[in-house]
Structures are given as structure tokens and as C-alpha cells.
Amino acid sequence: MHGQFDSPVELPTDPDELIRISGPLLEVGPRADRATVNFLIVQGEGEEAVTVNGEGTWRQGPQETPWTGTVRRVGKRAGGGDGTLKEGPARGIAVAVAIKDGELLDREFVPPSIETLTWCVNITFAQGSAA
């Protein structure tokens, strides 16, 4: 499995609206048809660094399908209190957990298994356009 974040990520004009995050999840074996993706966005330095937690999902499709998820714009500041994601660079950190179906090999049942993948990449936030 290989994971990534799409970038740039568009910030909604309404600060209370969830941010949509997505990216490719590639080379997932044919025995896995779904995955859960938990991710963090970290933006800023030192006491001003903001961390937000998000969740997403991936489903096997006829072609390569991206994982999709959402995250709130407001998170925790490293120095205490709340902070807000804004335009500019950030880090996307994620873990995908895929459940692979069991299978028969030479009349022997191989039980289901769990495959995990973690990744960390640079992303950029850009202000969205007003509708």
C-alpha cells in the first residue's frame, strides 16, 4: 500500500465548515476492499503549532479510488488553547488500516488479516473561493 495527501487543500470560506481532505491509496491488495484512515494535520512552529485530528475512509473501486475524510479547522495549539488552520504549508500524517479477506489456498483456509500503512508528507492550504 502507498498513501498520499492531495495538495493544495482548499480551505472553506466558512471557518465552521469541515475541511475535505483526500489522497490516493495505491497498491492495496485485491483481498482488501475497504480501509479506515486516521490522520493529523500539523501547521506552524513551536508554541504556535496547531494540530487537528481527522478521519477518513477508502473503498476499493473499479479504478484507483482516493481515500476521503474531513477535519475541523480548529485544533490544539502546542502552547495551549485553540488554534486555527490557515493558508500556507502544513504536514499531513496518516495511518490506513485495511482488512484483507480470508482465502482458500490449496484447500487450506488462510484467515483474514490486517494491513497498516503510515505516511507523512508536506501539504499546502489555499483559501477557497466564495460561492
- Where do the domains of the chain lie? 2-127
Q: What is the pLDDT of residue 3?
A: 87
Q: What is the model's pTM? A: 0.87
At residue 131, the pLDDT reads: 45
Give the mean pLDDT per block of 10 residues along the chain (131 residues): 90 90 87 93 97 95 87 95 96 94 90 92 85 45
Longest dimension (CA), the chain: 59
Across 77-113, b (16+ Cβ under 10 Å) vs e yields beeeeebebeeeebebbbebebebeeeeeeeeeeeee
Instruction: Name the fold adopted by 2-127.
Output: Immunoglobulin-like (2.60.40)
pLDDT of res. 33: 87
Residue 129 has a pLDDT of 55
